[in-house]
Chain A
Amino acid sequence: MVEKSSFGTSLMETISENLPASIVIAGTIVLTIVIGTVAGPSQILNSIITGGMWALLAVGLALVFGVMNVPHFAHGESFMVGAYVSYFVFSPINRSLGESPNPVLGAVAPFLGILAAGVAGLILGVILERLLFYPLRVRTKQGWVMNAFLLTVGISFILTNGTTLVLGPNFRGIPRYWDVPPLNVFGVTMAVDRVVAFFVALVSIAALWFFLRRTRTGRAIRAVSQDELGAQMMGINLNFIFPLTFALATAMAAISGASLLFMFQAYPTVGLQPLYMAWYVVMMAGLGNVVGAIVGGFIVAILQTATQQFFGISWADVIPTVVMIVVLLVVPQGIFGSKIRSS
């Protein structure tokens, strides 16, 4: 006879099976409530928006890990490229708008920049993968993970210094994308740019989700991340999947960089902090775990806000790092479980 377990029992089961994740999520909820009480709901909203940003960044990183088994150290540079592309697309339009205003163009122009950044990211991703990762894959049999990691370190080095060389170290920035008064969301005042950035992140993640779950190619990508050899035996062409995956991840980071141009500006080393944040999220959530990366983005954002609130902004990168180290000690595979093939 089959006993139907109540909702409560099955919830307890899920919690006990995923204890670390449950603890962290519970802790995050508590933190959120504390922040809301102490600092007000505006901080919670801020954290949610920041969380969306980190989630977008982290998803690309998790994807590259899970599918290609590559720990991507140059992910921040994809962000940087996106920021620059958007700057160079948006600024001329913005200037001409200053002389002859056009409300439609003014509303659309930032999206042009973001779109251009996405396209640039796709192209850059394909070029990097074919030019560098493909020869490495052909030549290395063992130690792929480490070698690929060091390759991305080299890429990061070249992209950062190459940009300084060609474009100079100066900040290229914009004060805002849309010249409109701030919105009032649930009684909290928010700049339009931030809200749009959040929705861009949401839409991008949703699009990726749909792509991975519902399309044939997306399923092929997931197959490769589960079992590379098995996927090949099913006729999946790795030489198509790998560039595609890398291009998607780069594009997502580039879109992130473009949508946050008003916040981060564009300069050669702008990718450093997004890189750290994406890594925090992915390490905590579990390498290669795309879903975990999304949730992890929000968790890390809450953690950051809490640190800033109670310890001051200068500790903002020390304390989350310490938390990360503790988490890794207890659950080295990440709280949601790692999906990386270690070789």
Chain B
Amino acid sequence: MASMEMEQRRGNGSTGSIISFLHGVGFTPLGLVLLVIVALLPLVPPFNQEHMIRWLIMGAFLAAQAAAFDFTAGYIQVVNFGFAAILGLGAYTSGILANTSPVLAVQPGVSPWIGIFLGAVLAGVVGLGLGWLTLRLEGIFAAVMAWFVGIALMGLVRNLTELTRGPLGMNPRSLLETTSNLPYYYIILAMMLVVYVLLRLVTRSNYGLAFKAIGQNIAAAKASGIDPTKYRVLNFAMSSFFAGWLGGFYAHYFGSLTPQTIMHTSKTVEVLALAYIGGRGSLWGGMVVAFPFVFGIEQLRSNLTQLPGLHLVIYGVLMIVVMIFYPDGVAGLIKWAKSKIAGE
């Protein structure tokens, strides 16, 4: 902590203010370097192959989700177990709004670019409701409530077959005309950046302080005059808005949605695992972990085709190991390494 403050004060002249600006929006120099690498990677062989770019897209997609998830789990200490369902809600909303084929009951034909935002808005409203629902519930109770809401949402989407084709799934229009993955990658990368920067700015503000206070000791927070209702609801609404926004991207990139895949609890667990392995409360931890993760898992999956599910077992083992032995996750590890290097 002290070293970061020194970093800010040390800056003199224009370089100092650039660094402090970057710091203000949540990027250490290391973080910026990683971002540039990830952005330029698809231009470098062997990463310019289409399937590699697809993996990068999944990486960025999961990274953004991890940040939005950590915004709730790491700050107000509520594990939003319905996260995937809300993301799926955004995906379905955007997909339905963009629909022009008579397969579904309605054909609004809205442009996907707008539809994604509308899906995000709906998701944000649902998140608001969910935040309100979990108000009187502490920790585990709130997580389970979110879980049940997620199940109910998944069932709802499955049953409204005129709108969604239920378990058969629907195929939303693509965002772009191109068949190449590259443009989609830069879109999701930009979205990931927006999610991270905006959430980071909020956590740096008084709102972020309030979130942390509520997360750590709700009684003390109330005594300090912080209204838990307002902040909890706000936090859920923001996290859900971005989840729905990302879901919209997924719908129009992946082009295929079924309730039992995209809204399933196991999808929330994947994001949760990333956020936790990355380090809860860090916001960027899950993002840093997401990219190597996707690559590692996909490589394992393609090399070990005779052992299906091994990569997921490894995933689970890692999560447990981190949970028990390294609760601060990768972010904690990096911070520890940095402090060692700074010679504290």
Binding site for B on A (CB under 8 A): 71, 132, 135-136, 139-140, 145-147, 149-151, 153-155, 157-158, 161-162, 164-165, 169, 276, 279-280, 283, 287, 314-315, 317-318, 321-322, 324-325, 328-329, 332, 342
Contact = CB atoms under 8 A, between A and B. Distances in A.
Contact of B144 (A139, A140, A164, A279): A279
B319 A157 contact: yes
B316 interface: yes
Contact of B320 (A132, A145, A283, A321): A132
Contacts of A158: 313, 316-317, 320
Contact of A165 (B158, B266, B313, B319): B313
A161 B318 CA distance: 14
A329 B133 contact: yes
24 contacts: A135-B324, A135-B325, A145-B140, A146-B79, A150-B272, A150-B319, A151-B323, A151-B324, A153-B319, A154-B317, A154-B319, A155-B320, A157-B266, A157-B269, A157-B273, A157-B319, A276-B151, A317-B152, A318-B152, A318-B156, A318-B159, A325-B148, A342-B138, A342-B140
Contact of B324 (A136, A157, A342): A136
Interface in B118-138: 133, 136-138
Given A71-B144, A149-B143, A342-B138, 14 more contacts: A139-B327, A140-B327, A146-B77, A146-B79, A146-B139, A151-B320, A157-B273, A162-B309, A164-B309, A165-B308, A315-B155, A317-B152, A318-B159, A321-B152
Contacts of B147: 279
Interface residues of B, number: 41
B140 A146 contact: yes
A332 B141 contact: yes
B75 to A, nearest CB: 14
Contacts of A161: 309-310, 312-313, 315-316
Contacts of B152: 317-318, 321-322, 325
Interface string B236-277: 000000000000000000000000000000100100110010
Interface of B: 77, 79, 133, 136-141, 143-145, 147-149, 151-152, 155-156, 158-159, 266, 269, 272-273, 276, 307-310, 312-313, 315-317, 319-320, 323-325, 327
Nearest to B312: A161
7 closest cross-chain pairs (CB), A and B:
A157-B316, A318-B155, A158-B316, A161-B312, A154-B320, A161-B309, A164-B309
A149 B272 contact: no
Interface of A is mostly: helix
Given A136-B324, A165-B308, A329-B133, A154 B159 contact: no
A322 B129 CA distance: 14
A157 B315 contact: yes
B139 A332 contact: no
A315 B312 CA distance: 31
- Name the prevailing secondary structure of the B interface residues: helix
B145 A328 contact: yes
A229 B42 CA distance: 58
Contacts of A165: 307-310, 313
Please indicate which of the listed interface residues A150, A162, A329 has the most CB atoms of chain B within 10 Å of its own CB.
A150
A177 to B, nearest CB: 30
A339 to B, nearest CB: 14
B122 to A, nearest CB: 18
B311 to A, nearest CB: 8
Nearest to B158: A314
A332 B158 CA distance: 28
Given A321-B151, A322-B152, A164 B308 contact: yes
Contacts of B323: 136, 147, 150-151, 154
Contacts of B141: 287, 328, 332
